[in-house]
């Protein structure tokens, strides 16, 4: 994969972005997933590309076109997403915007059939690997800047700050996804950026504008790192 380096503050930098949901198979015709259109993650990949970065976008199943100039790797499950992310290292920055399914089940080889008695099947869940936490703890392979999202429906800022600490990422974007906000599938997003320096409220923005703002902040942070 070779591309003429685009000019811009992120020229020569490599970025890894996750986007979309993951699908965890129950059987060949059914799956478990999180809600996610992929719009925010894809917009971030496009915005980083526009600033000159060489971007790998690891995406779960979405109904979106590939952003121009981005290397897109399509995956289904959380475990496939983690493997694709590992393979995409090294990177200067990683942004985990995917809505990864927290649990998977042991997939049945054949379609599970309804029974005459109407007995519902029961599923037994196993926790999936945490991609953001894994990248944050990737040792020498760790991207210099690791950014996560925190999708919350209540106590948004407290939960997000706790998540940043727990996962060991540098920045976290707190995202209120309660149904009244219309975030899921919508074109706008209200985010709060939490860094080691504190918390910044961002106005409600089109997902493309939120992505551009984040890309700009990333460019400044990486340039500051290089200068230090």
Q: Of the residues 34, 128, 175, 189, which is catalytic?
A: 34
Catalytic annotation present for 128? no
- The answer to the question of whether 65 is labelled as a binding residue is no
102 lies in the binding site for Ca ion (CB under 5 A):
yes
Question: Closest Cα partner for 225 from 111, 114, 143?
Answer: 143
Of the two residues 29 and 87, which places its CB atom closer to ligand CTP in the complex? 87
| Contacts of residue 48, Cβ cutoff 8 Å, sequence gap at least 6 | 10, 15, 17, 55, 93, 95, 215, 218
What is the nearest approach in angstroms of ligand CTP to the Cβ of residue 11? 26
Return the beta strands (E) in 35-105 as ranges. 54-59, 71-74, 93-96, 103-105
Q: Is 176 annotated as a binding residue?
A: no
**Distance of closest approach, residue 102 Cβ to Ca ion, in angstroms:** 4
d(CA 179, CA 191) in angstroms, rounded, equals 15
- Which residues contact ligand CTP by CB under 6 A? 18, 78, 96, 98, 100, 102, 128, 130-132, 148-151, 163
Which tokens is 44 given? Answer: 């971030």
| Residues known to be catalytic | 34
Annotated binding site for CTP, which residues? 102, 111, 129-132, 149, 163, 167
Question: Applying CB under 5 A, which residues contact Ca ion?
Answer: 102
């Amino acid at each position: 994969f070779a591309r003429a380096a685009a000019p811009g503050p992120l020229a020569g930098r490599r970025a890894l972005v996750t986007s979309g949901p993951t699908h965890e198979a129950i059987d060949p015709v059914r799956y478990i997933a999180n809600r996610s259109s992929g719009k925010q993650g894809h917009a971030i990949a496009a915005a980083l590309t526009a600033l000159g970065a060489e971007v790998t976008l690891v995406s779960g199943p979405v109904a979106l076109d590939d952003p121009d100039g981005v290397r897109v790797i399509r995956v289904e499950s959380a475990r496939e997403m983690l493997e694709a992310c590992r393979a995409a290292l090294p990177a200067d920055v990683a942004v985990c915007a995917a809505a990864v399914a927290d649990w998977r089940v042991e997939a049945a080889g054949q379609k599970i059939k309804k029974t005459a008695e109407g007995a519902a099947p029961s599923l037994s869940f196993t926790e999936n690997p945490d991609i953001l936490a894994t990248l944050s703890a990737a040792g020498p392979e760790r991207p210099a800047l690791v950014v996560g999202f925190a999708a919350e429906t209540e106590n948004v800022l407290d939960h997000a700050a706790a998540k940043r600490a727990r996962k060991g990422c540098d920045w976290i974007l707190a995202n209120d996804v309660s149904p009244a906000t219309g975030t899921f599938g919508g074109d706008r997003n209200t985010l709060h950026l939490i860094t080691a320096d504190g918390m910044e409220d961002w106005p409600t923005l089109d997902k493309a504008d939120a992505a551009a703002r984040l890309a700009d902040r990333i460019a400044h942070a990486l340039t500051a790192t290089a200068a230090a």
